[in-house]
Amino acid sequence: MSRGLVRGAVVAALVCGLAACGSGGGGQSDGKELTFWMYQDRTPQAGQVMEQVRKDFEKANPGVTVKLVKIPKDDYNTKLGSAVASKSAPDAGILDQPLVSKYALDGTIKEVPAGLITEADYYKGALDTNRANGKLYGLPQDQTTVALFYNRKLVPTPPKTWDELKQVAAQVHAADANVAGMNVPKGDGYGAWMFPGIVHGAGGEMVDDAGKKVLFDQPPAVEALQLWVDLQKSSPRKITDSDKPFENGLAAMTISGPWDVPTIKEQFPDLDFGVAPLPYKSEPAGNIGGEDSVVFSTSKNPDLAWKWLAFLANAQNNGAVADAFGGFPVHLKAQVPAGGPEQAAFLEQLKVAHARPAVPQWIQVNDEIIAPAIESALTGKATAQQALTDAASKTRSLLGWNG
């Protein structure tokens, strides 16, 4: 889910500054070649960033050659899976967050060496996307999240709590029956990805992976889904199913990510909108997306590979690297490329973001179990409790859990 536009001038400035950046150590490395797989560059500027970082690392580590292998994102997981199966995986590579636990638990990737990084230097949610069985198996490289977009003409002050959200949505719809208070997320993979952030906002968890317990049939999750059901009273689908309801002024609020900000500004220049953190019930919370980096178990140079990944994620380089990947930095001291006023809301949201469960089958659970459960409740085919009870039962069967 990490997208966004690389800001050319800012990136150029960051690239120029990278050559003087701290390094991860020097010393001879005996002519070693390190292969790193990553997604294809989103822009020419992104490619320039990665090339400069590569040169800086090689300069700091004489005798080392870093080979960047860039693969179209849509083909990446398939090609990586084939390489892993044939024991020809690269030394290191980018990995989508939900895949880290899968590869960790089947022995495909290595555990992060003790002392490689100072964990307190990183956003907790981003770092936690690399945990499985309580151990760290990768380093975050970029992160993204969603927040509340609101039409300032219809919502002068964004709501901070669930109660305020329902009140504001009801007022908007009461003032004009043709305008929905909120573009409520749908029961699809995207809506299911956002849903845990709402659950965490009620103090809940989706699962207890250490205890092998499914928790999203418990009150916090049921209350989160009921919130979305209740919002539909002031946000009928006959309005929100229209094309771009928020952008066209037919929905006062919506939930989306930073990738939509430049698109809205370009295509709907007259829309006066703001972005605020997600409303919550008991505590600020949100979800997270982005990319991690891992070292494969078949690597011939694992120590050097970890050194490279730490170099990408350090305070000096991570601002530019994360921007090149299309997200926000994961290092708390990394320079954040300049953005519009909306950027502050996303950065605030990332401070309270929660990683997805460290369950290898979570993508399947998200797309095939939770998403249809959400849709079942939103369309009135089941209550929120019934829908999530059924989904939790299916998840326990899939995972082989009793709790």
Residue 40 shares a structural domain with residue 184 = no
State the chain's mean pLDDT as an integer: 92
Predicted local confidence at residue 339, as pLDDT:
84
In a domain, 87, yes or no: yes
Q: Tell whether 70 is covered by a domain.
A: yes
- Give the pLDDT confidence score for residue 18 in this predicted structure: 38
- 171 with 34, same domain? no
Write down the pTM of the prediction: 0.89
pLDDT of residue 24: 36
Per-residue pLDDT tens over the stretch 153-166: 999 999 999 999 99
Residue 141, C-beta contacts closer than 8 angstroms, at least 6 positions apart: 94, 290, 291, 292, 293, 309, 312, 313, 318, 321, 322, 325, 330
Residue 64 lies in a domain: yes
Residues 112 and 159 in one domain: no
Instruction: Please report the pLDDT score of residue 337 as a whole number.
Output: 83
Co-location of 159 and 208 in the same domain: yes
Percent of the residues in the chain that have a pLDDT greater than 70, as a whole number: 92
Q: Indicate which CATH number applies to the domain containing 196.
A: 3.40.190.10
Give per-residue pLDDT as tens, 167-198. 999 999 999 999 999 999 999 999 999 999 99
In this structure, are 15 and 64 located in the same domain?
A: yes
What is Dmax (Cα atoms) for the chain?
Answer: 72
Is 91 part of any domain? yes
Residues 245 and 385 in one domain: yes
What pLDDT does 403 receive? Answer: 85
In a domain, 3, yes or no: no
Candidates 171, 186, 170; CA nearest to 245 is 186
Together in a domain, 221 and 159: yes
Domain final residue, candidates 309, 330, 350:
350
Whether residues 64 and 105 share a domain: the answer is: yes
pLDDT bracket for residue 338 (50, 70, 90): confident
Q: Does residue 1 sit within a domain?
A: no
Domain assignment of residue 384, given as a range: 147-287+357-399
CA–CA distance, 47 with 331 (Å, rounded to integer): 21
CA-closest candidate to residue 139, choices 292, 36, 35: 292
Q: Write down the pLDDT at residue 28.
A: 41
Per cent of the chain over pLDDT 90 is 91
pLDDT value, residue 30 = 54
Domain for residue 2, yes or no?
no
Q: Are residues 165 and 223 in the same domain?
A: yes
One domain, residues 225 and 370? yes
Assess contact for 169 and 181: CB atoms under 8 A.
yes
Angle, vertex CA 91, rays to CA 86 and CA 97, nearest 5: 90
Instruction: Tell whether 204 and 314 lie within a shared domain.
Output: no
Number of domains in the chain: 2
27 within a domain of the structure (yes/no): yes
DSSP string, 303-365: HHHHHHHHHHTSTTTHHHHHHHHTSB-SBTTSPPPP--TTHHHHHHHHTTB-PPP--TTHHHI
Instruction: Please report the pLDDT score of residue 6 as a whole number.
Output: 35
Q: Are residues 99 and 159 in the same domain?
A: no
pLDDT of residue 7: 39
Report pLDDT for 295.
Answer: 98
